[in-house]
Structure 1
Amino acid sequence: MGLHKRERGNKEKKERINVRNLLAYGEIYHISQALSGASKAGIRCEEKVRACDSSPCLWGGTCLDLPRQEYMCKCPEGRHGAKCESETDRSLAKGHLVPDFNGFGCLLLPRVPRAGRSLSLELWFLARSPDGILFYVGQGVSGQNASLAGDFLSIALVDGHLVFRFDLGSGPLTLRYPEKVTLGEWHKATASRHKRQGKLTLDNQKPIRAESPEPLSELNLRTSVFLGGLKDRNIEDATLVNLPGLDGAIQRLLVNREEYLEDFGDSSLGDGNISIYQGPPCHPNPCLNLGQCLPLLGDYKCLCPKEFRGKRCQTVMSAKEQGTPVKFEGRTFLKFPNLVHRSRKTQWENHFVVTLRMEPGARSSLILWLGRGGKRRKDFLALSTAAGRLELGLALSHKSRPIFLKSSHRVDDGEWHTVEVHRLKRLLQLRVDGGQVQGRLAPPGSRVLNSNGKLWIGGSDNLPDNLPPPYYDGFVGCIKSVHVEETELHLVRHSSFDLQLNFCEDGT
């Protein structure tokens, strides 16, 4: 390479060629020296050039390198655009920003890790046209024969029907949902694959399933995620080549249960074909008193300033409500959506700190619950009282038996106690009042806690069957504070329910 041999009679002549740049597998390299017949080790690629090396992001934006020499700018608050060049409307910046597509643009997001065996997607979208690309990711095979060689996974609207396709290398699988979407309304699409098995559902209706052709069962993905359209048409899924981009908006994207749009307000808005959605449920803002509107498909949740509560932050909180411990009376069930205290569902690790006071002589009961919902017992993490002591329960699969960890000290003495709960994969730990850490390891198997992200405090009236009997009784006592990871939950303001609560007079 870089060295030609030319025969002239019986003489061989070596020509020197200067090589300045090398393009290999989508990356550009500078060559530090020319090649010649005297070269000992051949090519030395001492410097790898990345798209972010030119510092394209303005106004202090952070540049993230993507495959194929692409980049994405994470912009500071109040800025947006491909290079953070535009100022965000302050009235919109106060809430959750939703990208709006006009059919000609696309949003580039980071590539999907660990998608070989399984991949799950949840997409909340609104469409104004019956045809459009929602989601695409591929293997990144270049050339005219890309559609014949590479793996891919895509979701699109075709004639109003939701279509989910993927190819593992043995031929494509196509799932077309029978019911059409309603234009101008919010929908939730859920698509997943495990090896060759694919599943698709719309708005929590009955799913449809099928298998891709044998024998291959691994999905190889290398490109960035293309949301709402495509940047070029040299892709593996030939059915998308002539399909327009989405004319509509995307409210939420979960990839393997992880948020992919949580930083949209700080990231690229593309090339002018993507704007900020201004429509129901959060525009105009229904939240009063400077509350932030969090869209939940066609509904919304108001994140209120600390002085207010209620569905629309319409109720002024008294001094007692702002700082006095909440009294739990056996039927005081508070639910907290995961988007309030954490943007991603906790699968690998959980950490809670609860300050509580249990009434002497109170029955065994449930204090904290994190599970999957439904009537069948699946994964869960629970904190309860059992015969005057605290007890942790953990199940990482509906097939495995739950494990339980009971505190060595009693807490039914009418005094305040601080309880620390920590789970790291299969390891469960409990500590009371800064004392010795107690631990127990779940049996080998699953290390992931799959939950619906909803945290219940004080008990729940929506529990599955076949749980320990104390779980079906609500906590009786007082709770002063609850911390989830590094964030403190306000028991009144953050709760999903606008309940009339009672308070413990003695907060000391």
Structure 2
Amino acid sequence: MEFRPEAWDGVLLLAGERDDLQGDFMALILHHGFIEFRFDCGSGVGTVRSTETVKLNEWNTLSVYRHRWDAWIQLNQEKRVEGRSKAAAIAPPVQHVTLQLHTCNWRILASQFQGLFSRITFREPLFVGGPGNTTGLERLPVRTGFKGCIRHLEANEHHYRFPLAPQGDAANGFDVEECTADRCSKVPCSHGGKCLTTGGDTAVCLCPLGYTGDLCETRVDLQVPSFNGSSYLRYPGLADTSLSWLELSVTLKPTAPDGVILYNGHHSDATGDFIALYLSSGHVQFTFDLGTGPATLRSENPVRLGEWVEVRVSRTGRLASLEVEEDPAQEILAPGAFTQLSLPLNLYLGGAPSSDMYSPKMKTTASFVGCIQTIVLNNREMGILAEALGGVNVGNCGHACEARPCGDAECRPLRERFTCRCRPGVPHPCPAPDDYTRLVPPPIRASSNAVTSVRYERAVPSFTGSESYLHYNDADTMKRHARYNENV
């Protein structure tokens, strides 16, 4: 089988002895992004599961083989992984299935394939791409149909043709469309960009950080990130750093009324704990779940599109509050008795690779459109670009910092304005390097007419009251400070 998944879960192939999945059956499913081959010869379910997830929006191939109680899976022409059930001494006749399917490595689950029977009896139709009218799906961990394309299916040396009979082999089907994934062959994304098919006959490139353009052909010097509805930045998750409390401040300029600003979850199937900050119909909303049900805060007034706004979220245990600019703070108490929040998955800003990653308890799954300038998390300002593990389709917001007005100093955006964070020994407001050198008389021993260029140094520092500071950590300074405290 060759397939191109667009979601982490779904039934790829299903056949059984009865339409309620009682008795013998065979199923090939996607579960949390992993491929699982499950079958029951009449004495218990055996399962083979990949150790890595499939590649979303890319073609995957896989081979599965079963002979009596033995099974093996070969992936990408790699070494076969074999498993054997606790078979009986009397061997029934041979029956096997061969499929082709490419992803990663595989392992056999501990239970293996137990029992005395080795045949699988199929009396029901073979369903491809979904469970069809099969009931009893509680025997499987996935009950939804496959989302994506399947372009090759071969079983027991028979190549299945997908059109309906008489042109093909399919007896009937429902809600199946023509696959348009191959249109990416006409969209040559450059600089490591990935092609993603969209509705209709279009496809777009998902560009890595530092590149933009229809084909990711333009390099950009990112300063203040902007998001276009297909963008996101990825960071390490909060994990256990926000178990009992969370302080979050985000400065953003939205240009669309709906979109996910920030999301961090617990499970890849969108269950369990999560936090989500997003826009819904122009209102800022914060939803979180401690494991006993969601709680949602909503701003009193909608934000003004195209204007900078600061959003502040605070959570202590079950109690959370939301403030947007000068609007009154909104508070809520989460249901249940749990008070801690665990978020081991990656944190996403501006969107995510797939909307399936979001909790269904959110009011929107659209990606954010606009600019995000600063994030302060638990009283620490994040380096939005410097700390990102990766991202796609992130551009510049159109801010003054893009012109690098601070020279080699750090340009810190303050909504439409900016300030320069100067290096120690550089006079405020951080002139260009050539402007803060001075000429000093050479030593007497130097040759005539010689001058020496040195860095500007302040004997008496001046502080601006906002962004300026000096930091000491050398041993001599700390010893002097300690001795002074002892004498006070």
TM-score (norm. length: structure 1): 0.48
Greater per-residue strand proportion? 1
Structure number with bigger Rg = 2
